[in-house]
Amino acid sequence: MPKLRYTPDEDIAVHPESAIRQLARHFGSHEAGLPEWLKNSADAYIRQQVPREGRVIVLIFDYGRRSRPASIACLDFVGMTSQDIEDYFRQWADPQAAERGMGVTGLQGGHGHGGKAYMIQMFGDYAYLHTVRGNKGCKYGVPGGELVFGYIPTLEEGRGFPVPDPQRELENALGELRVRFRDLPEAARASLDQGEGFTLVRGVGPKGYRTRIGLPHLIDRIVGDAQMTRTLQLCDVYVVVNGRLFDQGQPLALPEIAPMPGAEEPKEIVIPVALRDPVSERMVSTTEEGGLAQGKLTLRTSDKSMRWRPRVFRHNIRFMARSDFCGEVEMTELGVASSYRDRMYGECLLDALEEYKQSDRRRLTESPLTRALNDWIRRQIAEYCRQFESRDRRVYDQKERDTLSHINAALDRWKNSLLEDMMRGLWGPEGERRRVRTSLSLPAGTPTRVELTASHSRAGVGVSIRPRVRFFGAAGNRVRAVPYQWVSSDGSVAFVDHNLLIINTLSTGIAHIHAETLEDRLCSNSIALEVVDIQEIRIQPQQVELCSGGRHRFSALCRLANGEQTTDIYLAWDVGNNAVARVSSAGLIYGFEPGETRVYAGDDRCLSEPAIATIMPAAGIDAANRRQRAYPRVLISNIDPDPQTGELVQFTSEHPPVVQRTIDVERGIWWINSASPLARLYLDRGREYGCDSREWRMYHLERFIEIMARIRLSLDDRQGEGMSYDAWMEPWDETAARMQEQAASSLEGFIMGGRLPE
């Protein structure tokens, strides 16, 4: 094929402001920006080959005073020259900025704009660096809202000015932060003595912190950032708050993660030279056809589940390329169906990933290689999980299985008779769904207290919200509602429509909402509503099938501008065909007529790719579906096989006592987890219990009552739509009390002597 002949333009036309703002958008939070400053300081030490004991970084937080705004600063003891600033720091999107032509290995590197992006976006007043290298200093920065950096106050005064005493220069710089040199940790003072200067990067007027900077939450988020792992390994990072050392002067450290017994050593797996892309089914080279070294996957374990531990943010696989962090994937995204997945984390080193590193280094660019690698990693984790599952598997003899199955079948029949009574109150005679009432009509009265609750504390832009408001009398009892209105602290963020009594979100930010009665001006508690900038929305699962009259709850995984991923965002939900199905504001879809429809979630700025809901026909007027609902099956793990696969279902002690997996919801199946701690205890004949013991029968019955209460909650249309905790729990309490009363009257023979109910 002949080569294209053309005359290239003399330059590349780029709109500078638009390009910079596009580059900077990934660093629109303090949690995303501060790790960039710290990484830059760590790389400065590596470039100068400073010994490990001399690598000290100090984060300085000043809450400010009435006469001066708050500020955040980062201090290292390396320093920069005016040439460093002009040739490297001021350049946007230069991937070689960290190396600076020195050929040094071990740098974390980046794309050359993270620290600057944080400075221009997240400080309302100004941001600057004050640096000294040798006997010359520079001050270089940018006002809030501007993009073009410059010397302070002028080129002549701020560039290469003489510094006869670096310590005195630093003391003057720290004075603006209300910090004295002697307030710094001893290691920092020693690092200045041994080094050739310092760099103090400071932002004044941090956005979102008008009165008080949110420590220690912010520190937890910084330490938990995947990019910080390497920085904390390379350097000692101290924190000073209002002139005092944070955490008694201890440097920040990654949380200790104790491994699982029997898996103390990490598991290392060499990555094959070629992997199959699950989309194209083609083989993809992991070494650029032999030009790069083979990679390695390292899996580590935790003795406790990492999924819900607030101070552990490393429940992921970190990708490294040429010793540089380049992205991560959360363990929950890999699709491994095992609770042991929640006790694993690791690193993947593969040099071929270098070209797939994105600006924010949160996720890798999607490509055949990254898809193939994620699929291979998923299979390795699943295989590792199976090793632990087989270790925990207990073998029950046939007599135990028969006894447990007979008990379970008898309790299932007893449960069904009660469910039939319950369902009569929830469904009309023609199969029409009736709204569940969870409380009696309230009495009239004069409110003395107004309580406000909301299902979500965060929402997208351009959605409508109506929090739940309840009124209480002087005796603390609930009374009927009286006329009221909503009040928003910031109408530019959340605007109140007084005609419809709803709140419309308009722009990102935080607004405080409360309700106020019209007659007595009685105010409720205030709730903070944060309107967030959503970059991507993915509905989970992508496809569902349900019968006419069935229901299924979708979740929407949102990726925010700061890189956070969460499903706890209030969005607008919609379907493509209202005749086939409808979806609630909580993502709960109801199937009406057979057919197929698309389901969307989004806000004014971002819309998800559609999920597909297929509604299958049901016999009669939803009769079959109602019977399926009225008679869900209760099975016991490791005793009963899965009705579809015929294989025993295994859970672990990490699972709750009662489990319903996603695949079990539409099948109407609930599992009693025989591996939960109390179940294992009461089924252990060696401890004088066993499946025919009174203790097991009580435990078995209590799990049935728990399942009944959960079924009752799932039948309430209002779940997830602004209910208070008390209102949410009311049907649970009612059902549990009713079931216990029935059990006490009809199952006494079973409880005391093991006589099965008819």
State yes or no: pLDDT of 272 exceeds 90. yes
State yes or no: pLDDT of 529 exceeds 50. yes
Looking at residue 151, its pLDDT comes to 96
The residues, any chain, with a CB within 8 Å of residue 361's CB and separated by 6 or more, are: 110, 226, 227, 325, 326, 327
For residues 659 and 717, state if they share a domain: yes
Range of the domain at 493: 449-526
For residue 507, with 0-12 CB atoms within 10 Å meaning exposed, 13-18 middle and 19 or more buried, which class applies?
A: middle
Looking at residue 477, its pLDDT comes to 86
Question: What mean pLDDT do residues 156-172 have?
Answer: 95
628 compared with 463, residue with greater pLDDT = 463
Q: How confident is the model over 472-498, as pLDDT tens digits?
A: 998 888 888 888 888 998 888 898 877
Looking at residue 559, its pLDDT comes to 94
In a domain, 262, yes or no: no
For residues 153 and 238, state if they share a domain: yes
Looking at residue 374, its pLDDT comes to 94
In a domain, 157, yes or no: yes
Distance CA 683, CA 399 (A): 13
For residues 336 and 371, state if they share a domain: yes
Which two tokens mark 591?
A: 């199937």
Looking at residue 565, its pLDDT comes to 92
CB atoms within 10 A of CB 21: 14
Asked if the peptide bond before residue 216 counts as cis, ω within 30 degrees of 0, the response is: yes
Residue 301 — pLDDT band, cuts 50, 70, 90? very high
State yes or no: pLDDT of 334 exceeds 80. yes
Of 633, 626, 636, 635, the closest CA to residue 715 belongs to 626
In a domain, 144, yes or no: yes
Looking at residue 427, its pLDDT comes to 35
Q: Residue 589 maps to which CATH number?
A: 2.60.40.10
Distance CA 680, CA 671 (A): 15
Last residue of a domain, one of 249, 284, 307: 249
Residue 90 — pLDDT band, cuts 50, 70, 90? confident
For residues 39 and 187, state if they share a domain: yes
Looking at residue 467, its pLDDT comes to 86
| Least confident residue range of 99-108, 198-207, 530-539, 659-668 | 99-108
In a domain, 207, yes or no: yes
Question: What mean pLDDT do residues 462-480 have?
Answer: 87
Distance CA 751, CA 758 (A): 14
In a domain, 440, yes or no: no
Q: How many domains does the chain divide into?
A: 5
54 compared with 389, residue with greater pLDDT = 54
Distance CA 695, CA 474 (A): 45
Q: Across 239-243, 338-342, 646-650, which has the greatest mean pLDDT? A: 239-243
For residues 231 and 93, state if they share a domain: yes
Q: Residue 193 maps to which CATH number?
A: 3.30.565.10
For residues 613 and 681, state if they share a domain: no
Question: What mean pLDDT do residues 595-602 have?
Answer: 92
For residues 426 and 361, state if they share a domain: no
For residues 297 and 348, state if they share a domain: yes
For residues 163 and 285, state if they share a domain: no
For residues 79 and 151, state if they share a domain: yes
Looking at residue 348, its pLDDT comes to 94
The residue count for the chain: 758
For residues 224 and 272, state if they share a domain: no
Last residue of a domain, one of 620, 648, 669: 620
Last residue of a domain, one of 474, 506, 526: 526
For residues 561 and 701, state if they share a domain: no
CB atoms within 10 A of CB 260: 15
Q: Residue 507 maps to which CATH number?
A: 2.60.40.1080
Region label for 334, one of left (φ > 0), alpha (ψ between -120 and 50) or beta (otherwise):
alpha
Which two tokens mark 592?
A: 């009406």
CB distance 108 to 321 below 8 Å: no
Paired with 627 in beta bridges are: none
